[in-house]
Structures are given as C-alpha cells and as structure tokens.
Chain A
Amino acid sequence: MFKRIVAGALALAVPFAAGQAMAQEKVLKAVMHADVRVIDPIWTTQTIANIHGMLVYDTLFGNDAQMRPQPQMVGKYEISPDKLTYTFTLRDNLKFGDGSPVTTKDVIASLKRWGAKDGVGQRLMSYVDKMEAVDDKTFRMVLTKPYGMVLESLGKTNSSVAVIMREQEANTDPQTQVKEAVGSGPFNFAKDQWVPGSKAVYVKNPHYVPRPGNEPASSFAGSKYAGVDRIELVWISDSQTAMSALINGEIDFVEAPQIDFLPMLEKARGVKLMKTGNLDSTVGMIRLNHLHPPFNNPKARQALYHLINQEDFLRAIVGNPEYYKVCHGLLTCGSPLANDGGSAMLKDYNPKKALQLLKEAGYNGEPIVVLQATDHNTITPATQVLVQAMREAGINVDAQAMDWGTVVTRRAKKDPPAQGGWNIFVTTTGGVGSSNPVLHTWLGAACDKGLFGWPCDAKIEELRNAYAFAQTDEEKKKIATELQTRALEQVVYIPFGQWTVPLAYRADRLEGIVPNTGLAVLWNIKKK
C-alpha cells in the first residue's frame, strides 16, 4: 500500500518537476505567416520552409541587409585572378546538430542538390565545370565563365536558400522531400514535437559554432547565436486571435500582423511594431498571358498600363500610406538598382486611352478571363480593384472566383481562355528577389521555360545574362536600366505598388530583433 502511495506521489510530482524545468527555459513563441508543413527548403520554395531551414541549417555565405554576401560557414576564400576558380575553406569545428563534423562532402552534395532544383542555383551550376574537395575543410568550385554572382547566389536570402545538409540527406533526389532535418544551424528541429498545421519546435543546438568576433547581425550575415533555449513557431490562422494573443502576452512575436490590426497593435501596451525597410517589402504584380489574344500583342498589354492607378490598389490593400509606396519600376524601389527606365507609360492613368489602345490592338469586346482569388488578404482586394477598373473602362471582364490554391493550378494552363485557360491573374513577390535582375524570376522572358504568362523576349534574357557577368557597379546599373526599359515595353508584368508589413513583438520581453531583409531572422533574439 505504502509503495503504491509513493508511486502515485512520484507520478504526480514528475510532471510538476518537468513543468518547473520548462518554466525556467527561455522560450520564444512566434506566430509566422504560415505553418511549417514541409521540412525541406530545397524541395519547396515556400517561404516558411526556408524560415524553418535557416533555423536548422547554415549557409556558406549570408547576404547582409545591403545584399552584400558575407562569409558564414566559410572561414576564408580565394578567387583566382581569371575569376574562374573559387577556393573555399570551412571554419573550424563546424558540426551538425547530431554532433557529426561538417565536411566538404556534405557541402558539395548539398550544393549539387540545391543547384539541381533552385532557379538561381541552376543558373550558377550552368557555369560550374566542377566542384572538388581538396580536403575535409577545403573545396574548389571551377567555372567555365567568370560568372559574377557566385557569392551572392550562395548567400541568397529569399527562397530556396543554399543550405548545407548532411551528405546522407543531400543525396536525396531534389524532387523528393528529405526525411530528417539535421543541420549545422543555431537550432535543432524537434521532429517528435512537431504538429504540422499547429506548431514546430526548435531547441538550441549545443554543437553550433557562431562566427567569431561577435559580428553584429545583419540579415543572414554576422555572428548567429541562439538567444533562447527553444523556439516555437506557432501557427494561428485567425489574424484577430493572433493579435489578441500578442496583446495578452501569450505569444512574443508576430511576423506578419494583418494590416487592419496595426492601429490596435500600435496602441497596445508592451507591443512594438518594427518597420523592416525598403527591401523587405511585397511587390504587387498583374500578370498577363502572352500566349493568347488580346495580350499576345504588346500594344494590348501596354494599354493596361493606362488603367492602373497604383494608389487605388494600395489604399485597398494597405490603407495607411506609412506602409506603402507607389513604384513604377520593376526593380524594387529603394534598392540600389531601382531606376526610372521605361516607366513613363505607367504614370499616364487614362482609362479611355486604355480602351482605345486595346481596340487598336484588335480587341473586339471578347471576354477577358481574370482569375479572381477569393481567400488572399492582399491579392483578393487587388484583383477586385483591377476588375472594377477594367469594367469602368468598358472592357468585357469574365472574373472567375476561386480559392488561391485553384488559381495556382489554373495559371499553369496554357489553353486558350475559353477552354479553361486565362488572360490575367494577380500575384505578389518579395522585394529582396525583385531587387536583383537575376534573382527576380518574374522579370524573365524565357518563353515556355519561364513563369506563367510566358513572356518571350530574347533581348530581356540576354540582358539578364549580361548582368550576371557585369564586373562594376556602374555596369550593373546601366544594364539594369536597359533591362527594365525593355521589360516594361514588353510588359512582363504590370506593377501596382510596393508595401511592407511591420513585425510586431512584445518589447517588454524581447530584445535583439534583427530587421528582415528577405526571410525572418529568429536567431539572436533574446528573452528578457
């Protein structure tokens, strides 16, 4: 009997003790823009998978807030005078979360997998002759041409980041998701505590070795350290609940609070909003289908420029001018390469002229199929503004309402609009990617190998390639201006502005927040 009582008391005491231990742990509870459902940042381009990836994995280089690549896992590197051979040496004592050392075998296998899947990686690999290990810590990358974006590509901070995995995972077919997420980043992924669609848990990686020198964090560059013992990425799909939970102190950090709630968050005690700069913005795009009439004619495409008053779109999406910016360029406004090339057409808002130009291009009132997403907090209102503007101008619009998942499927169809295809859809992209002509994939015009809408223009592709080989900043700026002018003439897409969503966090509990330039940075955040 006594034994049973003792056993019972112990059974009650153990969870209590565990609870005490948990209470002493520093836990960062962050609500992200989406839930972690995929643990392989190479297999998918989903932003959230890459945020997960950057907690678990490390990269050879990390681009800083000015988009300059800085060494991260690499201790030292050399570039040959002909710019064809890059020799990289890893920092000392790098280890994966399981304690095994990081070697050049892991690095080469990881780069090969990334280079086979990611667009930027594919472009880089098309100029790579070979990658060879010199020893366990040093490897060489030999190029066929002096490609100018090697380090920038390795340090990219938007999607499909060039993360370094263990060789056993890196040898997985890039079209298949890896089964384990073990990296050499500041945190280990606690797979046993993962509840897809609800919570992903990361615990401090005891084997992580930060860059020496306590370098200040700047986007993906600088010394990274785990500022808390545990990070919980909590998925709260309801924005109002997320906001209430932050105000109530149940969570510490909201990556992307809904714009409607910003005034309430500004007033909430203990909560602070952080604007994350020009580069970390969202860019609105109207994509036209170049395969079918009327938009297979450049004149018809250009006609739509005269329908777009960016303020109308931005007021509908954001409302508060503090968070949006009219931007008539295709390269992120506020970025080093932003320019005015070819943008005069976009500044002439004139719906009558739009219809007249469309008619001159052969448009006879056929229905224009617009894929109208109904469940997206920015794309839905933007599409509504577009449809209304087109109708007011006298264009026959067939707005087909569907959820975003269906838009994503439907936009891949090349059939004529009357047979299940489409003419127009609205989407968004990140300001970091669109600040660079090579990383900005929506700027491409690679015909049927390009993105949906399939713009086709050899000159645009030639200029994007030329940018990748430019050696000086002046040369890069010149090419970027020429490229934008040509892309606007061809109407690869119609921009409708740029906006940022600030981070929201409990300032009474957190310190060391690193402003985003691309993906959210959760390392270095300390809990008071």
Chain B
Amino acid sequence: MTAYIVRRLFATLPVMAVVAIFVFFLIRFAPGDPAAIIAGEDATAEAIAQVRMKLGLDRPVLEQFAIWSLQLLQGDLGISIFSNLPVTRLIAQRLEPTLALTLSTLFVAVALAVPIGVVAAWKARKLVDRLVMGFAVLGFAMPVFVLAYILIYFFAVQWRLLPVQGYAPIREGFWPFVESLILPSVALGVTYMALIARITRASMLEVLAQDYIRTANSKGLATDRVLLLHALKNAAVPIVTVIGIGIALLISGVVITETVFNIPGLGRLTVDAVLKRDYPVVQGLILVFAGAKVLVNLVIDISYAFLDSRIRY
C-alpha cells in the first residue's frame, strides 16, 4: 500500500506540470490585458504600454513562462499584478472560508443524503421512496443561486434568523462561525445531497437483492443491523466514488455560493482574478485546485481497499 501511495504521489508531478503549462498558455492567449485594466478608463495607449512594460508583459511569452516556471520550482507562485501581494498569501487568506464551506456542505450532504438514500431503498416504491426521489429530482434541477436567494429572502431578510452574507472565522466564536455557514451549506449541499441520495438508493437496491441479505433477514437480525452493517458497507464503493466526484462539483459550486453569500473564499478569488486578468493568481489557483483534485482521487482510491477487502494495490 505504501509503495502504491508513493507511486501515485510521484504520478501527480507530470499531471501538475501539464496543468501548469496548459493554464499558463491558455490565459496568455485569452483576450484581455491587465495593463489596460490597471491603467484605467482614461488611460492612453501609451500609458497602457508603459504599465505593460513595467509588469514584464511585453516580453515574449516563452520568456515569461521560463521565469514563472523557475519561480514555481522554488515554491513561489508569484506576486499579484494588482495588489502586489504574494499569491501564496492571497490563497492562504481565502483557504479557511472555502475549506469551512466545503467541509460543512460535505458534512450536511453526506449526513442527510446517505440515511435518506438507505431509507428510500428499504421502502422502495412506497410513498417515502417517491418523496425522496421527488426531492432528489427537485434538488438536482434547482440552480444553486435560485435556492440561495430564496433562503436569504426567508431566513435572513424576512425572519432575520441568520445573516445574509459574510463569513465569520472560527476565532471570532463558534456560533457566529456556524451561523455564517448554515445558509451557504444548505444552498450548495442540496444538489450534492440529491446526487448522493440517488446513488445510495440505487446501490442499496442492488445489494438488498443479494442472497446474503435474505439470509441475514431469515436469521432474524434487526433491520438496522441488516441495512447498516450488511448492506450499506457493501454498497459503499459507488457512494464513496460519487462523494469524490462531488468534491470536484463542490469546487465549481463554491464559486456561485461564495459570490451570492459574499464569502471571501477561493471561488470568488478565482472569478475576480479571471475577470481582472491577474495572471499569477489564476495560475496559482488552478494549480491548487488541480492538486486538491488529485489528492481527493488518491484518498478515494485508497478508501476502496478499506471498504472492499477484495481490492488490493
């Protein structure tokens, strides 16, 4: 197993290199010029050219790539063109809100979706099952931002139970921290919950039809034991796979959620950096996202071995 993990970690290096090259050139060849944005509305072409020269954006693209690659090899993601701050600092500032939002969403979604998926499978084709599947279809069809505005309108503006926007770091107190995450987690988590509930139900239905489940029931085991210990563990591999895929969905979902709820996370940083053509920030963020995705995949692959003893690496 250790050799497998080490091998997989080494395999991430070429993946990251390809991502780095792709992102660097893609953003350089996209239209837009940070110098024009910095110089401002009333800047002449001459003034823009001067800014571009100072930022080194007038140099050949390959030369710019070589400079950036050397910095990257030394662990330096560069300096933001606009704020003049290191990209690592900007990412570090935004990491906590995004991690908090992602983990709380994951927690809410998994904690609710797996049980309701199990119940739906257990009560297949009955009213409970149809309600769960109805919720799943609705949850999947509802855009995150629509649900977000509805939640804000009722829970924040009308009933004043929760804040409209913002993020309270945990150091400012546990309740403000939780309070600031409830609406965003629910808004972001509903789609994800629908996905996991559907997969859990489908996977459980397959397992519940197996002979060993019938045997367990015949032995007179309690229903909860049969469902949780015998069925759910064996149905877990596809569920865990979907949770892994869902983390990638969450990364794209946080962009919208962070914007609507004004959470200063990595998603908003990405959108702002792309709109402003802040090249070093965009490059750094994509590398971080790619690295996170590779690591999540690795964790999921490793978890298979624990969930299914037939899988060996």
**CB-based contact B36/A196 at 8 Å:** no
Measured between beta carbons, the chain B residues less than 8 angstroms from A46 are 38, 40
**CB-based contact A238/B42 at 8 Å:** no
Given A43-B38, A236-B165, A196 and B85 contact (CB-CB distance below 8 Å):
yes
Given A175-B51, A241-B260, A244-B165, A37 and B82 contact (CB-CB distance below 8 Å):
yes
**Distance to closest chain B CB from A238 (angstroms):** 5
Measured between beta carbons, the chain B residues less than 8 angstroms from A402 are 31
Q: How many residues of B contact A (CB 8 A)?
A: 53
Q: Is A403 an interface residue (CB 8 A)?
A: yes
Measured between beta carbons, the chain A residues less than 8 angstroms from B42 are 45, 119, 159, 429, 433, 441-442, 451
Q: Is A195 an interface residue (CB 8 A)?
A: yes
Measured between beta carbons, the chain B residues less than 8 angstroms from A173 are 54
Residue from B36, B48, B261 having most chain A Cβ neighbours under 10 A: B36
- How many angstroms between the C-alpha atoms of A248 and B166 in the bound complex? 13
User: Please, what's the 1-or-0 string for A385-405, where 1 marks a CB less than 8 Å from any CB in chain B?
Assistant: 000000000000000001101
**CB-based contact A159/B268 at 8 Å:** no
Q: Is B294 an interface residue (CB 8 A)?
A: no
**CB-based contact B82/A196 at 8 Å:** yes
Q: Is A211 an interface residue (CB 8 A)?
A: no
Q: Is B171 an interface residue (CB 8 A)?
A: yes
- How many angstroms between the C-alpha atoms of A163 and B39 in the bound complex? 18
Nearest chain-B residue to A179 (Cβ)? B84
**CB-based contact A250/B165 at 8 Å:** yes
- How many angstroms between the C-alpha atoms of A176 and B38 in the bound complex? 11
Q: Is A410 an interface residue (CB 8 A)?
A: yes
Given A37-B276, A247-B157, A409-B36, A196 and B262 contact (CB-CB distance below 8 Å):
no
**CB-based contact A237/B149 at 8 Å:** no
Q: Is A44 an interface residue (CB 8 A)?
A: yes
**CB-based contact A244/B152 at 8 Å:** yes
Inter-chain CB contacts under 8 Å: number: 136
User: Please, what's the 1-or-0 string for A17-54, where 1 marks a CB less than 8 Å from any CB in chain B?
Assistant: 00100000000000000010111000111100000000
Given A19-B172, A37-B82, A405-B275, A199 and B36 contact (CB-CB distance below 8 Å):
no
Given A15-B173, A405-B32, A244 and B272 contact (CB-CB distance below 8 Å):
no
Residues of B43-70 whose CB lies within 8 A of A: 43-48, 50-51, 53-54
Q: Is B264 an interface residue (CB 8 A)?
A: yes
- How many angstroms between the C-alpha atoms of A403 and B275 in the bound complex? 8
- How many angstroms between the C-alpha atoms of A9 and B218 in the bound complex? 56
- How many angstroms between the C-alpha atoms of A425 and B50 in the bound complex? 23
Q: Which listed residue, B40, B84, B172, B272, touches A197 by the CB 8 Å rule?
A: B272
Q: Is A412 an interface residue (CB 8 A)?
A: yes
Q: Is A278 an interface residue (CB 8 A)?
A: no
Q: Is A177 an interface residue (CB 8 A)?
A: yes
Measured between beta carbons, the chain B residues less than 8 angstroms from A199 are 264
**CB-based contact A198/B33 at 8 Å:** no
**CB-based contact A248/B83 at 8 Å:** no
Residues of B234-276 whose CB lies within 8 A of A: 259-262, 264, 268-269, 271-272, 275-276
**CB-based contact A44/B39 at 8 Å:** yes
Nearest chain-B residue to A405 (Cβ)? B32
**Distance to closest chain A CB from B54 (angstroms):** 4
Q: Which listed residue, A197, A408, A410, touches B269 by the CB 8 Å rule?
A: A197
Q: Which listed residue, B41, B51, B262, B275, touches A241 by the CB 8 Å rule?
A: B262
Q: Is B164 an interface residue (CB 8 A)?
A: yes
Q: Is A496 an interface residue (CB 8 A)?
A: no
**Distance to closest chain A CB from B159 (angstroms):** 11
- How many angstroms between the C-alpha atoms of A267 and B167 in the bound complex? 28
Q: Which listed residue, A19, A35, A177, A409, touches B84 by the CB 8 Å rule?
A: A177
Nearest chain-B residue to A251 (Cβ)? B165
Residues of A428-446 whose CB lies within 8 A of B: 429, 433, 441-442
- How many angstroms between the C-alpha atoms of A101 and B50 in the bound complex? 33
Q: Is B37 an interface residue (CB 8 A)?
A: yes
Q: Is B163 an interface residue (CB 8 A)?
A: yes
Residues of B144-170 whose CB lies within 8 A of A: 149, 152-153, 156-157, 160, 163-166
**Distance to closest chain B CB from A21 (angstroms):** 13
Given A38-B82, A197-B268, A198-B268, A250 and B164 contact (CB-CB distance below 8 Å):
yes
User: Please, what's the 1-or-0 string for A117-128, where 1 marks a CB less than 8 Å from any CB in chain B?
Assistant: 101000000000
Q: Is A507 an interface residue (CB 8 A)?
A: no
Q: Which listed residue, B39, B41, B164, B269, touches A245 by the CB 8 Å rule?
A: B164
- How many angstroms between the C-alpha atoms of A194 and B66 in the bound complex? 31
**Distance to closest chain A CB from B279 (angstroms):** 12
Nearest chain-B residue to A15 (Cβ)? B171
Q: Is B277 an interface residue (CB 8 A)?
A: yes
Q: Is A406 an interface residue (CB 8 A)?
A: yes
**CB-based contact B260/A449 at 8 Å:** no
Q: Is A427 an interface residue (CB 8 A)?
A: yes
**CB-based contact B260/A238 at 8 Å:** yes
Residues of A348-380 whose CB lies within 8 A of B: 375
Q: Is B226 an interface residue (CB 8 A)?
A: no
Nearest chain-A residue to B85 (Cβ)? A196
Q: Is B98 an interface residue (CB 8 A)?
A: no
Given A15-B171, A196-B85, A241-B261, A405 and B277 contact (CB-CB distance below 8 Å):
yes
Measured between beta carbons, the chain A residues less than 8 angstroms from B271 are 237
Given A45-B43, A406-B31, A195 and B54 contact (CB-CB distance below 8 Å):
no
Nearest chain-A residue to B149 (Cβ)? A240
Q: Which listed residue, A15, A410, A448, touches B31 by the CB 8 Å rule?
A: A410
- How many angstroms between the C-alpha atoms of A442 and B41 in the bound complex? 10
**CB-based contact B165/A241 at 8 Å:** yes
Residue from A159, A240, A429 having most chain B Cβ neighbours under 10 A: A240
**CB-based contact B33/A244 at 8 Å:** no
Residue from B37, B41, B90, B94 having most chain A Cβ neighbours under 10 A: B41
Measured between beta carbons, the chain A residues less than 8 angstroms from B260 are 238, 240-241
**Distance to closest chain B CB from A113 (angstroms):** 14
**CB-based contact A241/B152 at 8 Å:** yes
**CB-based contact A244/B156 at 8 Å:** yes
**Distance to closest chain A CB from B260 (angstroms):** 5
19 A-B pairs with CB atoms under 8 Å apart are A15-B171, A159-B40, A159-B41, A175-B51, A179-B84, A196-B85, A196-B90, A197-B269, A237-B268, A240-B149, A241-B260, A244-B157, A245-B164, A247-B157, A248-B160, A409-B32, A409-B33, A429-B42, A442-B42
> B: which residues have CB within 8 A of A?
31-33, 36-48, 50-51, 53-54, 80, 82-85, 90, 93-94, 149, 152-153, 156-157, 160, 163-166, 171-173, 259-262, 264, 268-269, 271-272, 275-277
Known: A241-B261, A412-B48, A448-B45. 14 other contacts (CB 8 A): A15-B171, A38-B38, A45-B39, A117-B47, A195-B94, A197-B264, A197-B269, A198-B268, A245-B165, A247-B157, A403-B32, A408-B33, A409-B33, A409-B36
The 3 A-B residue pairs with the shortest CB-CB distance, nearest first, are A45-B40, A198-B264, A409-B33
